[in-house]
Structure 1
């Protein structure tokens, strides 16, 4: 079952956020050369002729890596540059994930939410296609959709797709303070991660969190002082990559050690003075 399109007002909000980011004072710092991540499976990125307009991050040596859960990513400003978040995405891939980002390496132009669904379709096909280097190497039952800023809105838009296990909304949230019909897509575990009150999307995320479907398991984490640009451009993606990987390790790999960072009054991030934490239905 595919997600239905969100109301037009959300699509207008995507465009507005794109303008806001591009007219701001820069974005994520340029990634370091040949980022490979710090995990046990040094990563690389590449393109594939069968998947237009995307960049694929994966462990360089697939023979030593375990079966890889799938992560699809939408860029800030809905920008079609698949290496804009290279440090961050390489770090996640190095921890044993296949990450597919919207946009070609160094690309330009604008993405669409449907590109995230295309990434999922492609990964599932490759896992079963004869001759594919990914044949039998992907865990197609464990899929995360994530995005930053405008890309976070894209992630929300496609989250009604029943193949998706979890959604992570980075530095983002729907516009407005009234009813937010787009949040109906978020019925499976969701995390909102942002840069605290100095993040232009902080208030949107706070409002979203309070309006999620009543039964949705949800986490809200704000790294105070990180702002809208977060830590993505730091070596290995900085603290956002650490927290993001922990969420994925819990949701897609079942790690209870990772779960302890998010669950309960004494969770790891709850005890970190740099983080503002809210929780709903987590166990």
Structure 2
């Protein structure tokens, strides 16, 4: 609780808000975007109140969407605060579920990330669901920015999670270091370099990760606000998309961005560290 309270005052960024779409079986989101093969947008559902769901406008035939649960910076309950980057990832064939309703207010909690996973798993089997048999419930990413990253840590022991990602985030209190020992899935950190307020905390966490855990650390000198407000989430959107495509879809071209001394990010503006990545 102390960690979350300390992070509530961190302002991440503001993005353009779009009107929420009413739920209708099979109806696409009204506003579409992203650079991927599936133009994406967001919607809401009464079955998952307090969340915003990003998905391809037309659900792809014969392709199952992996699950991505997202926690906002400042633990803010606004599901469209990070709209640019979440739409981008959805356009590459992911079901991205953000804490908070579109344009919402108030605060979130870690359990909301678990609610997102539970809802997606249930929808995949529910009779009458437009998502029936269209979700890959065996591939689950949980990620968050700043305070949302702390929420991610707090649920990372869920055995359904297949990758954990922290954006501009790290533990603020050494008394919580036991959370690191609960990590069981490959983890990635995307941090804004030394000027990022979360930089020292993230680097401290990096040194304390469980032995043998596959891990990637990428620092780009863009500060705590990252590139989230740029079209399609900017460089953070591009790199995060590659991580998701590798971890949740087994994409080997995306894997080369992160693995080995000649990785795609290794000779760029990114400062890269790797552990146990093969």
Match of residue 245, structure 1, among 241, 245, 258? 241
1:31 CA displacement:
3.2
2:261 aligns with one of 262, 265, 274:
265
Corresponding residue number in structure 1 for 2:7: 17
Matches within 5 A, 1:88-103: 88-103=85-100
Maintained 8 Å contact 1:44/1:57: yes
TM-score by length of 1: 0.91
Q: Secondary structure at the match of 1:221?
A: strand
Alpha-carbon distance in 2 for matches of 1:177, 1:94: 38
Change (3 A) 1:266 1:85: same
Q: CA RMSD in A?
A: 1.4
Name which of 156, 161, 168 aligns with 2:158: 161
Deviation digits for residues 213-266 of structure 1 (CA, Å, limit 9, x no counterpart) = 011100000111x11000011001100010001001110000111111000111
The whole-number CA distance in structure 1 between the counterparts of 2:249 and 2:74 is 30
The aligned counterpart of 1:144 is 141
Q: 2: CA distance between counterparts of 1:49 and 1:259?
A: 37
Question: Which residue is 1:229 aligned to?
Answer: 225
Q: Alpha-carbon deviation of 1:177?
A: 5.2
CA contact (8 A) 2:17 2:81 kept: no
1:64-213 pair list within 5 angstroms: 64=61, 66-176=63-173, 180-213=177-210
Structure 1: which 5+ runs fail to align?
Answer: 1-10
Moved more, 71-80 or 176-185: 176-185
> Do the aligned partners of 1:31 and 1:85 also contact (CA within 8 Å) in 2?
no
Task: Describe the shift of the 1:40–1:15 C-alpha distance in structure 2 as closer, same or farther (beyond 3 A).
Answer: same
- 8 A Cα contact 1:69 1:97, kept in partner: yes
Normalising by structure 2, we get a TM-score of 0.93
Structure 1 SS opposite 2:108: coil
TM-superposed CA distance for 1:14, in Å, is 1.5
Inter-partner Cα distance in structure 2 for 1:133 and 1:72: 19
**Separation in structure 2 between the aligned mates of residue 77 and residue 102 of structure 1, nearest angstrom:** 12
Asked if 1 retains the 8 angstrom alpha-carbon contact of 2:53 and 2:95, the reply is yes
Corresponding residue SS for 1:180 = helix
Structure 2: how far apart are the matches of 1:130 and 1:52? 20
> How many aligned positions are there?
266
Q: Show structure 2 runs of 5+ residues with no match.
A: 19-30
How far the C-alpha of 1:29 sits from its partner, in A, is 3.6
Instruction: Assess if the C-alpha contact under 8 Å between 2:17 and 2:80 holds in 1.
Output: no
| Aligned-partner SS, 1:152 | helix
Compared CA separation, residues 14 and 222, structure 1 to 2 (3 A): same
Distance 1:58 1:36, change over 3 A: same
For residues 115-142 of structure 1, the C-alpha deviation after alignment (integer angstroms, 9 at most, x for no partner) is: 0000000000000000000000000000
- CA distance in 2: counterparts of 1:14 and 1:212, whole angstroms: 21
